Structure 1
Amino acid sequence: MDVRQLRHFVAVAEALHFGRAAARLGMTQPPLSQSIQALERELGAPLFERTRRSVALTAFGAAWLPHVREALDSVAALGGIAEQIRLGHSGRLELSFVSTADYSILPMLVSRFRALYPEVEIALTEATSDVQIAALREGRGHVGIVIPQEDAVLPAGFAYRRLVSEPLIAAVPESWIVEGRLRVEAGRLPPEAVISSPLIVFPRPAAPSFYDLVTGYYAARGGTAHVVQNAVQMQTIISLISAGMGIALVPASLRHLARSGVRYLPLAGEAPQLETGIVWRRDDDTPTLENFLRMVESVPVLAPNA
């Protein structure tokens, strides 16, 4: 069966007269009758009871009619659905992100995009920068929120846009401050207190830029980072700090991750700046991605206060 036959059936069912139904369809009666007969043969049951004076739906035809109307309504809606997909007002956006973005730029971007395009499904995946770029290179996902590697060259055909630049602050066990183990000056942690404390940090293979930014802070001040634990999740790092295992240098936006037993302190002097941005394939013409990138263009680069 085809859509044309279904429309013929509905027209006859509503008119209960082959002649009037044919006139409404802009055709003659014989081909309409042949179309209905072919449909009945395909279905294996009559749709109408016919006499010389009347036409009536069979019980089977009456039960099938609402399903046919629903199917035709769906077909009629396909053009509008296609238009929504073509414009990026419907469809799917696959967005990956580093864990630090969950406390800075990610909530705002997702909230703004949902407000602009409520019919688009947003699929979120948390992953380190290297994993995101590898996935995008393989054609998986549309856009990633990453920490760019300094002086690293993106794969051919990739594009990058800076989103956020924020200072690092110290996340420290609150008990160390209470016990006097850490010296705090005017609400800030001096370099010597940082250098002398055991460090919890992302492993370098997973986040080379972040790792180098943190260890570079030590080297620039004549010290060496004493790494006691690596962790790839910010939540894990903060949990280890709460347990008194060490301190961490984290983005200022991580203050939004409140945890009992953890204190966030600005660094005394000039603090390292962590950059976060988005990366995508230049040849990806997915409409939802194009709308996301257009929205991002209206987002100013943020620089949270220390």
Structure 2
Amino acid sequence: MTIELRQLRYFLAVAEENHFGRAAARLHMTQPPLSQTIQALEADLGTPLFQRTRRSVGLTPAGAALLPEARRILQQAAALPELARRAAAGESGTLTLSFVSTADYNVLPPLLREFRERYPQVRIELREATSDVQLADLMQGRIDAGLLIPPLDEKARTELDYMTVLSEPLVLAAPQGLKALRSKGRAAAASLQAVAGLPLIIFPRRIAPALHDAILGCFRDAGLTPSIGQEAIQMQTIVGLVSAGMGIALVPQSVSNLKRPGVEYRPLAAASATVDTGLAWRRDNASPVLHAFLELLRKKS
């Protein structure tokens, strides 16, 4: 049994008018085909929907139960064209976005705020993940896009597109009150030579090779070989270990927005390497929501 929207519209007109003649006039049709359609609907449902007399038409208990559901179904059907238009324009749907922990201190909050303001009907699913995990998820189609630290490996470059969103220098994160830094002002630049004796806390190279290599490159340019004391995959953990006096770290400048007791941030006296954060996505992903997100990002860059 299939109930058509046309049958529900006819039923609703008769129920609201309490009269077949007035309902037929409202529907711009003659009464006989209206009556036949209602009779066919009642036959399909196996129960009368109207109590008919010569002077009036009233709903049966079955008709009264059907009335609110018929209204709901017709309202939902009327909303379908607008729903489809919004989905095609990227104004509704779901965006699954992964991000590295460093993005939480720079590009992610303002980007999400502006996207939510423009597309309030879009549901955003956020997942914090390291760059290597994001690349695997993108290749498998488990996420729409990822804010990550490049580079993309050779296989990923054949299937993914990439856009640089931010480039920023590395700064020193050191335990507060170090004697080597005490003689300088709190905002003064620091040299790596002054803290070279302290253990270095760093991302594992397999997790973020570009960031790992940029950090070691700063020491190499200063003629130093650091002693790696700890490795951690979350920026919060790295800064927490610095706060605990476990060593120093070189972090992207925006991480200085992470205020942690016992940690001070200093720019480096020598020119430091820059670290990129960018967005990667599958080249064959035709999601209108993703492309609306990309359009916003391109306008901001």
Partner of residue 277, structure 1: 278
CA offset digits 1:120-166 (Å, max 9, x no partner): 11111111111111111111211111111288674313211111111
Match of 1:260 in 2: 261
Aligned to 1:215: 216
Q: Select which of 91, 103, 106 maps to 2:105.
A: 103
Question: When the two structures are aligned, how many residues end up with a matched partner?
Answer: 297
After superposing the two structures, state which structure 1 stretch, 71-80 or 152-161, moved more: 152-161
Q: Which residue of 1 aligns with 2:80?
A: 78
> What per-residue deviation string (whole Å, max 9, x for no partner) do you get for residues 271-292 of structure 1?
1111111111222121111111
Letter of the aligned partner of 1:252 in structure 2? Q
| Residue number in structure 2 paired with 1:228 | 229
In structure 1, the partner of 2:140 is 138
Identity of aligned residues (%): 52
Residues of 1 paired with 2:155 and 2:243: CA distance? 37
What is the alpha-carbon distance in structure 2 between the residues aligned to residue 58 and residue 11 of structure 1?
Answer: 15
Residue 11 of structure 1 corresponds to 13
Moved more, 107-116 or 45-54: 45-54
Q: Deviations over 1:187-209 (max 9, x none)?
A: 22212124322011111111111
Does the 8 Å CA contact 2:139/2:159 hold for their aligned counterparts? no
Residues 1-306 of structure 1 correspond to what in structure 2 (within 5 A)?
1-149=3-151, 154-175=156-177, 177=178, 180=179, 182=181, 185=184, 187-300=188-301
Return the offset for 1:250. Answer: 0.3
Deviation of the 1:24 alpha carbon: 2.9
Which range is displaced more, 129-138 or 11-20?
11-20
Gaps of 5+ in 1: 301-306
Report how far residue 10 of structure 1 moved.
0.4
AA in 1 matched with 2:149: I
Q: Distance in 1 between matches of 2:154 and 2:106?
A: 24
The alpha-carbon distance between structure 1 residues 150 and 23, as it changes in their structure 2 partners (threshold 3 A), is closer
SS in 2 for 1:222: coil
Q: Does the CA contact (< 8 Å) of 2:167 and 2:277 recur in 1?
A: yes
Does the CA contact (< 8 Å) of 2:242 and 2:248 recur in 1? Answer: yes
Secondary structure of 1:200's aligned partner: strand
Distance 1:151 1:56 in 2: 72
Contact 1:113/1:295 (<8 A) preserved: yes
More displaced stretch, 17-26 vs 214-223: 17-26
Query: Which residue identity lines up with residue 29 of structure 1 in the other structure?
Result: Q
Q: Deviations over 1:233-254 (max 9, x none)?
A: 1111111111111111001111
1:253/1:152 CA distance change after superposition, 3 Å = farther
Q: Relative to 1, partners in 2 of residues 1:153 and 1:195: Cα closer, same or farther, differing over 3 Å? A: farther
Distance in 1 separating the partners of 2:289 and 2:247: 43
Using a 3 Å threshold, how does the CA distance of structure 1 residues 286 and 213 change in structure 2: closer, same or farther? same
- Distance (whole Å) between structure 1 residues aligned to residue 275 and residue 76 of structure 2: 50
- Given that 2:196 and 2:224 are in contact with CA atoms closer than 8 Å, whether structure 1 keeps it comes out as yes
Deviations 1:68-113 (A, max 9, x none): 1122111101111110111111111111111101001111111111
Measure the CA separation in 1 of the matches of 2:234 and 2:106: 15
Task: Summarize the Cα distance change of 1:95–1:204 in structure 2 as closer, same or farther, 3 Å threshold.
Answer: same
Moved more, 68-77 or 189-198: 189-198
Q: Calculate the TM-score normalised by the size of structure 1.
A: 0.91
Partner SS, residue 269 of structure 2: coil
Of the structure 1 ranges 22-31 and 219-228, higher mean CA displacement relative to structure 2 is found in 22-31
SS in 2 for 1:229: strand
Tell whether the 8 Å contact from 1:242 to 1:259 is kept in structure 2 after alignment.
Answer: yes
CA change 1:149–1:195 in 2 (3 A) is farther
Q: Structure 1 151/136 Cα, relative in aligned 2: closer, same or farther at 3 Å?
A: closer
**1:19 aligned counterpart, secondary structure:** helix
